[in-house]
Chain A
Amino acid sequence: MVSTLTIGAILTLLAWVGLQVAVIHGKYVVDSIAAGEYQKGPFSEATGGGSDE
């Protein structure tokens, strides 16, 4: 049987990885918007681009 410690460690790691993924994605979105390459935003509706997601 898997111990509470193992489950806790996995959940902790997942939460931390989730946070880091959000951070890396955030940096990517910021750089993409600055470069004019990001189309998935509300601004794209006005310019005839894609949807929110």
Chain B
Amino acid sequence: MSDDEGLPGHSHNEDLARDLSVFDITMIGIGAMIGAGIFVLTGLAAGQAGPGLVMAFAFNGFITIFTGMVYAELGSAIPEAGGGYLWVREALGRSQAFLAGWMSWFAHAVAGSLYTLGFGAFVHLLLTDYFGIALFEPVDLFLLTIGPEKVFAVFAGALFAYINFRGAKETGLAGNIVTMVKVTVIVILIAFGLGYIFGNPAEASDRFQPFLPRDFGGVFIAMGLTFIAFEGYEIIVQSGEEVVNPKKSVPKAVFYSMSVVVTIYMLVAIVLIGAVTVTPDLFQLAQEGAASGAHGATNLPPVPDNIEDAAVWEILGHLGELGLARAAGQIMPYGTVVILVAGIFSTLSALNATTYSSTRVSFAMGRDHVLPDAFSAVHDEKRTPHIATALSGALIVFMAVALPIEAVAAATDVMFLLLFLQVNYAAIVIRREWGDQIDYGYVMPYFPYVPIIGIITKLALAVYLFNYSPLAWYGAIAWILVGVGIFFLYSRSRVRETEAKEETRLITEERAPEQRGYQVLVPIANPDHAEQLIRAGSAVARHQDGEVLLTSVATVPEQTPLSEGRRYADEQRELLDEAMQYAPDDVPVHQTVTIGHDIAKSINNVAYQRDSDLVLLGWRGQRKHVSDYALGSNIDTVVENAECDVAVLKTDGTTDSSRVLVPTAGGPNSDLAETVAAAYAGSGAEVTLFHVATDGDVDGDRSFLENRQEVLAESDIDVDIAVAEAGDITQTILDHARDGEFDSIIIGAAGEGILRRVLFGEIPETIGEEFEGEVLMVRKHRPVQSAVKRLLGKWVGKGAKATNLGE
């Protein structure tokens, strides 16, 4: 995706054949949700929730439908491959999208690890119990215990990485058949189980008591643990580009699949608890499982000493990933073998899908230039992203070997829950900002409460999972921190380059023959102010042995692609040609015309791309007392987001500054003001450093100014100094400037708030507005402070802005 426009006009270059029906994508969703999750996780979850497992599945379905509605809405409006990552990128920007993609990569890879481990356990059981093949005992290798299951898991992970490298993928028909077989097996299991329950109602109902042996805490953990099973809507929306009439089909498939799947899960739980007896065999297997700790037994109560005291759910918990398979042996003929074989196919198809997804996510991130380009490399012969595939496969295998299965499951859930948090938030922003422009096929009711409930419930579940597996959270946090590190060290600058290229296009450029290191960027919008701005900019450039870059921005409406906007640029070109008459001979002056949707963003992009050191903006001298802006929307945006020093010149028409007053109180902004004043002095102006002593320490303040005077004198800049004792700083400066017949005031920004909107501060802005002559306000770029402020603005401010827009 590399289009220039916002979400409403979203388009893509490659058109896929639209041949999937509602039924097809509903089956894709069901296939994903009745996949390995039910075979692998049901036993583990039963050990946590007890008979309350039924409730855990129902609650999971209920809270998942909130995010399901979000997916239905966005999937109907923007039916493109990319799903959550795409929406987060469009709504919240590339920095949040990086995090979403980074988590999505990990989530899909770790889900793959879970399926490899499930596959390993099923194959191991099948070989040992049903084919009588003796396998080696687990061996301790450093901190890890490697048993046959792990070896099978590694084999499966590596095999499917290779299959994905070869480019083989499941066809739609084969996928449907696998899903139908899985669902049929489960439905037969349910039918047998319900038959038993209806035949033995008293016995079955006794097994549901106590209903919540581990209270609601156990239910919440089971919900978090099995949440991965309900993420099928992510896969449904991924197929949006291949669906007939996606506006209707995608949301319907999301809803139908949720309805069917949650019902099936609940019925499986009912059957599992109600139709299974604790036999001596099961009891013994559970005791062995507890003793070996192979199935997350550390998180479960111990197996009772007597078989009479053991409840079915306790036994299932200690059987872990083999719980459903073992129990199925009681429920239907050949139940264990059937479930094992179905489980093997399910885990393999799920592994194939997750290997494919994690590869595609990391590939997309490489293509978006937020991960190294190697991720987006395509193999010459196979035409597959071989490096992304290899690294995803390595991640899958590493996690499968390094972590126990319950920690892998919990880590996957934590990652998906965090990813869904972002998607819910993105849905709010998208509806607020572009809602009236998007052609929705479904809209969620009670907006924005639905995504807000989605956020709260997902967050609560994710946090609660810490009780179950702190290791999963540590792993998740470590992964996120590594991602943040990569983002700041590597991706951020590339994201900025990509944004700049997408937001702003260069139309024409005329370079002066000579180029110098220091650059003053002077945006020109009004020919009447060009002379004054070029004079000031040239003075600074001359002082710094630098150059001036004049720029003018042509703007086109959001709906118009930048590529169509060249014809709007003629006026800007003429404006700059005219302004060039004021260019001095001794300073190189370049000119460039750019086009963008937003003037301020384009100015900052030009400054970023050309590595400008100072942006000099013109200002009419009128503050915006009633709006959200201090000096004007464009000036405010440039100043707040500039990645270099910035100066705002009150354009009063002055063409010569012979007397310059520099109110100073020390600090980086005042230092910059002194530097600019020195540039004026170099052009022949008389400069006076001025300080208002509000604390009565006139001698101390004079000493401070003398110190500054000496520093400037070392550079052959002679300046005067003056100190006045007063309480009202602003009025004193204005009075001194008027009485002394100064033409210009150069003043540094008075302060910078992290959360408050402060451009230059009350004193400089009041002086700028009230002084009759030229006023130049300057602000030094402070990267760390600006980064924190921008980050807060992006994560907090964007939502706030969006909320305001909706009001």
Contacts and interface: CB of A to CB of B under 8 A. Distances in A.
Interface of A: 3-5, 8-9, 11-13, 15-16, 18-20, 22-23, 25-27, 29-31, 33-34, 38, 40-43, 45-46, 52-53
A34 B431 CA distance: 19
17 contacts: A5-B210, A5-B211, A12-B54, A12-B59, A15-B58, A15-B59, A22-B68, A29-B251, A29-B442, A29-B443, A30-B252, A34-B248, A42-B440, A43-B436, A43-B439, A45-B435, A52-B447
B266 interface: yes
B479 interface: no
B212 interface: yes
A12 B58 contact: yes
B131 interface: no
Contacts of A42: 431, 435-436, 438, 440, 443
Nearest to A8: B211
Contacts of B266: 12, 16
A52 B436 CA distance: 11
Contacts of A11: 55, 58-59
Contacts of B205: 5
A26 B727 CA distance: 66
A19 B230 CA distance: 13
A19 B435 contact: no
Interface string B635-659: 0000000000000000000000000
Nearest to A45: B436
B255 A16 contact: no
A18 B52 CA distance: 18
Contact of A23 (B54, B256, B437): B256
A12 B55 contact: yes
Interface in B41-77: 51-52, 54-55, 58-59, 61-62, 65, 68-69, 72, 76
A41 to B, nearest CB: 4
Given A5-B209, A22-B65, A29-B443, A43 B438 contact: yes
Contacts of A40: 443, 445
Nearest to B446: A53
A22 B441 contact: no
B247 interface: yes
Contact of B69 (A16, A26, A52): A26
A15 B61 contact: yes
A47 B465 CA distance: 46
Contacts of A30: 76, 248, 251-252, 441-442
B277 to A, nearest CB: 19
Contacts of B208: 5
Contacts of B447: 52-53
A15 B55 contact: yes
B69 A19 contact: no
Contacts of A15: 55, 58-59, 61-62
Interface residues of B, number: 44
Interface stretch (B189-197, B257-265, B562-570, B730-738): B257-265
Contact of B440 (A8, A12, A27, A43): A43
Nearest to A41: B443
A53 B806 CA distance: 14
B249 to A, nearest CB: 9
Contacts of B439: 43
B262 A41 contact: no
B212 A23 contact: no
Given A12-B55, A19-B62, A26-B254, 15 more contacts: A3-B209, A4-B212, A5-B208, A8-B51, A8-B52, A22-B69, A25-B445, A26-B255, A27-B252, A27-B255, A29-B445, A30-B248, A30-B251, A42-B431, A43-B443
B436 A23 contact: no
A11 B211 CA distance: 12
Contacts of B51: 5, 8
A45 to B, nearest CB: 5
Nearest to B212: A4
A15 B446 CA distance: 18
A43 B255 contact: no
B440 A33 contact: yes
A39 to B, nearest CB: 10
B443 A26 contact: no
Interface string B421-456: 000000000010001111111110111000000000
B776 to A, nearest CB: 44
Contacts of B445: 25, 29, 40, 53
Given A8-B52, A53-B446, A23 B258 contact: yes
A35 to B, nearest CB: 11
A16 B248 CA distance: 24
A23 B259 contact: yes
A41 B62 CA distance: 23
Contacts of A23: 65, 255-256, 258-259
Contacts of B446: 53
